[in-house]
Amino acid sequence: MMDEKFHVFLKDHHVLNLATCKGNLPYTCSCFYAFDAPNGCFIFASDPKTRHIQEALENPNVAGTVTLETKSVGLIQGMQFTGHLTQSDKTAYKLYYKAYPFARAMRPTLWTLRIDYAKLTDNRLGFGKKLEFYRP
């Protein structure tokens, strides 16, 4: 089970940086997310025609980060993760629309990114303090 510190960090933020790869060429993008804490998943909207979604449909193993931008070393926080991307179900839509009610009018395609591994760095807990999560 993911440590509560991951949940607190992820609920305080709303943008993830997603990395995909095709033909040994990496690509990244940024996405607003809703965090599904009980399932350890990100929910985000993206057009199926985008490069990152097209690549993830071919190779659903993705990676990314969520970070706090700060110049103060003592406040550095960030999470690196790997996971598996799929199209979202109806439950995910409810969670996403709760976080972003205006999105309902746009009728977006939603995606679920199941976190399989995560490393959280939080210098507020001690310089270089890292917590890890591995999905069983």
Q: pTM of the entire structure?
A: 0.93
Please check the confidence at residue 78 and state whether its pLDDT lies above 80: yes
Q: Domain count of the chain?
A: 1
Task: For the chain, list the strands marked E by DSSP.
Answer: 15-22, 25-36, 41-45, 61-67, 77-87, 110-122, 130-134
Domain range for residue 115? Answer: 4-134
The answer to whether the CB of 46 falls within 8 A of the CB of 52 is: yes
Share of the chain above pLDDT 70, in %: 100
Residue 112 sits in a domain of what CATH number? 2.30.110.10
Please check the confidence at residue 128 and state whether its pLDDT lies above 80: no
